Structure 1
Amino acid sequence: MNIEEAVQKYQTYYCLDCGVCTGSCPVSRVQPTFSPRLIVEKAMLELGDELLHDRELWSCLTCSRCYERCPTNINFPEFMRVLREEATKAGTTPVLAHHGMLQTIMELQTQGIHQKKTGWAHEAGKVTDKGDTFFFVGCMPYFDVIFRDIGVDSLTISRQVIKILNKAGIVPVVSDEEACCGHDMLWNGKPEVFRKLARRNVDLIRQSGAKRVVFNCPEGYYTFKHHYPEHVGELGFEVIQFYDFVERLVADGALKLSNGSGTYTFHDPCRLGRMARIFEGPRNILKKVANSHFVEMERNRENAVCCGTSGWANCSSGSKQIQVERLREARATGADTLITACPKCQIHLSCALSNIDLDLKIKDLTALIAETMEG
Structure 2
Amino acid sequence: MNVEEAIKTYRTFYCLDCGVCTGSCPVSRVHPSFSPRIIVEKALLDLGDELLKDRELWSCLTCGRCFERCPTNIDFPEFMRALREEAARRGTSPLLSHHGMLQTVMEMQTQGIRQNKTAWAREAGEIAQTGDTFFFVGCMPYFDVIFRDIGVDSLTTSRNVLKILNAAGVVPVVSDEEACCGHDMLWNGRPDTFRKLASANIELIRKSGARRVVFSCPEGYYTFKHHYPQYFGKLDFELVHFYDFLSELIADGAIKLVDGGSTFTYHDPCRLGRMAKIYDSPRRILEKVEGSRFVEMERNRENAVCCGTSGWANCSICSKQIQVERLREAKSTGASTLITACPKCQIHLNCALASMDLEIGIKDLTTFVAETMHK
- TM surpasses 0.5: yes
1:260 to partner: Cα distance? 4.3
Task: State which drifts further: 256-265 or 52-61.
Answer: 256-265
Name the amino acid aligned to 1:20: V
1:261 to partner: Cα distance? 3.1
Query: Which residue in the other structure is 2:252 paired with?
Result: 252
Count the aligned residue pairs.
375
Q: Secondary structure at the match of 2:229?
A: helix
In structure 2, distance between residues paired with 1:259 and 1:94? 43
In structure 1, distance between residues paired with 2:171 and 2:50? 53
Query: Which residue in the other structure is 2:89 paired with?
Result: 89
In the TM superposition, what whole-angstrom CA distance separates every residue of 1:336-355 from its partner, at most 9, and x where no partner exists?
Answer: 00000000000000000011
In structure 1, distance between residues paired with 2:185 and 2:10? 21
Q: Secondary structure at the match of 2:264?
A: strand
| Structure 1 residues 244 and 24, CA gap change in structure 2 (3 angstroms) | same
In the TM superposition, what whole-angstrom CA distance separates every residue of 1:304-338 from its partner, at most 9, and x where no partner exists?
Answer: 00000000000000000000000000000000000
In structure 1, distance between residues paired with 2:296 and 2:5? 41
In structure 1, distance between residues paired with 2:259 and 2:125? 22
Name the amino acid aligned to 1:257: L
In the TM superposition, what whole-angstrom CA distance separates every residue of 1:236-272 from its partner, at most 9, and x where no partner exists?
Answer: 1000000000011111111111134310100000000
Query: Which residue in the other structure is 1:150 paired with?
Result: 150
Query: Which residue in the other structure is 2:105 paired with?
Result: 105
Q: Secondary structure at the match of 1:225?
A: helix
Query: Which residue in the other structure is 2:171 paired with?
Result: 171
Task: State which drifts further: 95-104 or 257-266.
Answer: 257-266
In the TM superposition, what whole-angstrom CA distance separates every residue of 1:82-117 from its partner, at most 9, and x where no partner exists?
Answer: 000000011110000000000000000001101112
Q: Determine whether 1:21 maps to 2:21.
A: yes
Name the amino acid aligned to 1:84: R
In structure 2, distance between residues paired with 1:259 and 1:297? 20
Q: Determine whether 1:66 maps to 2:69.
A: no
Identity %: 75
Q: Secondary structure at the match of 1:363?
A: strand
Q: Secondary structure at the match of 1:308?
A: coil
In structure 1, distance between residues paired with 2:260 and 2:81? 41
Query: Which residue in the other structure is 2:303 paired with?
Result: 303
Structure 1 stretches of 4+ with a deviation exceeding 6 A read none
TM-score by structure 2 length? 0.99
Query: Which residue in the other structure is 2:53 paired with?
Result: 53
In the TM superposition, what whole-angstrom CA distance separates every residue of 1:119-178 from its partner, at most 9, and x where no partner exists?
Answer: 000000011111100000000000000000000000011000000000100001000000
**Aligned residues of 1:260 and 1:289 also touching (Cα < 8 A):** no
1:2 to partner: Cα distance? 1.0
Q: Secondary structure at the match of 1:213?
A: strand
Name the amino acid aligned to 1:253: G
Query: Which residue in the other structure is 2:291 paired with?
Result: 291
Query: Which residue in the other structure is 2:210 paired with?
Result: 210
**Aligned residues of 1:262 and 1:336 also touching (Cα < 8 A):** yes
In structure 1, distance between residues paired with 2:233 and 2:202? 10
Query: Which residue in the other structure is 2:352 paired with?
Result: 352
Name the amino acid aligned to 1:318: C
In structure 2, distance between residues paired with 1:220 and 1:275? 12
Query: Which residue in the other structure is 2:114 paired with?
Result: 114
Q: Secondary structure at the match of 2:214?
A: strand
Query: Which residue in the other structure is 1:361 paired with?
Result: 361
Task: State which drifts further: 224-233 or 254-263.
Answer: 254-263
Q: Secondary structure at the match of 2:289?
A: coil
In structure 1, distance between residues paired with 2:371 and 2:263? 15
Q: Secondary structure at the match of 2:290?
A: coil
Q: Determine whether 1:332 maps to 2:335.
A: no
Q: Determine whether 1:275 maps to 2:275.
A: yes
In the TM superposition, what whole-angstrom CA distance separates every residue of 1:161-217 from its partner, at most 9, and x where no partner exists?
Answer: 000000100001000000000000000000010000000000000000000000000
5+ residue gaps, structure 2, are none
Query: Which residue in the other structure is 1:129 paired with?
Result: 129
RMSD (CA atoms): 0.6
**Aligned residues of 1:258 and 1:290 also touching (Cα < 8 A):** yes
